[in-house]
């Protein structure tokens, strides 16, 4: 018991365990309603100027969404989309996109 408490305190102190429990399923529902038109239902962007989100690191996604919401990062589409997201929405959306598995095929090097 003591060890468990220590482990969770350590995780919280290091910031490796987000304070909020993420719900990837809720993130999926929100993403298909509000994000898929630009970022694709499979997390592969439908717009050339939007980013592929499938398999992206969770901390990266959380930071990007928080930055858009706070106005630290500005984009005419994402600034509008992010302004009504709650902390829980951001955690859930990030968990959903991060849970997608992607594989990468590196092209042969050209001679
Ligand atoms: C109308 C189109 C549109 C919608 C809808 C949209 N996005 Fe975006 N998103 C963009 C564009 C365009 C960018 C690229 C912004 C830039 O260049 O800074 C972007 C960037 C992002 C990024 C940053 C990616 C990176 O690599 O830094 C994240 C994360 C993101 N969107 C998440 C979401 C989520 C989550 C939703 C749904 C709640 C959403 N977006 C809805 C168009 C959209």
Tens digit of pLDDT at every position of the chain (111 positions): 555 554 444 444 444 444 568 999 999 999 999 999 999 999 999 999 999 999 999 999 999 999 999 999 999 999 999 999 999 999 999 999 999 999 999 999 877
Q: What is the reported pTM?
A: 0.85
Decide if 26 contacts 91 (C-beta within 8 A): no
Q: Which of 24, 81, 83, 99 for mutating ligand 1's site (highest number of atoms within 8 Å of CB)?
A: 81
pLDDT for res 78: 98
Structural domain containing residue 87:
23-99
Nearest CA to ligand 1 atom 21: 51
pLDDT for res 2: 56
Is 9 domain-assigned? no
Is 69 domain-assigned? yes
Ligand 1 pocket list (CB less than 6 A):
31, 34-35, 37-39, 47, 49-51, 53, 61, 64-65, 75, 77-78, 81, 93
Total domain count, the chain: 1
Closest CA to 51 of 39, 41, 59, 60: 39
Is 71 domain-assigned? yes
Closest CA to 82 of 18, 47, 39, 46: 39
pLDDT for res 25: 97
């Amino acid at each position: 018991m003591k060890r468990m408490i220590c482990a969770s305190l350590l995780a919280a102190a290091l910031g490796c365990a987000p304070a909020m429990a993420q719900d990837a399923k809720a993130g999926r529902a929100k993403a298909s309603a509000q994000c898929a038109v630009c970022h694709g239902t499979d997390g592969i962007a439908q717009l050339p100027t939007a980013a592929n989100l499938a398999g992206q690191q969770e901390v990266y996604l959380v930071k990007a969404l928080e930055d858009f919401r706070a106005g630290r990062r500005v984009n005419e589409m994402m600034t509008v989309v992010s302004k009504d997201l709650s902390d829980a929405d951001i955690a859930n959306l990030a968990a959903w996109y991060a849970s997608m598995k992607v594989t990468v095929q590196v092209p042969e090097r050209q001679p």
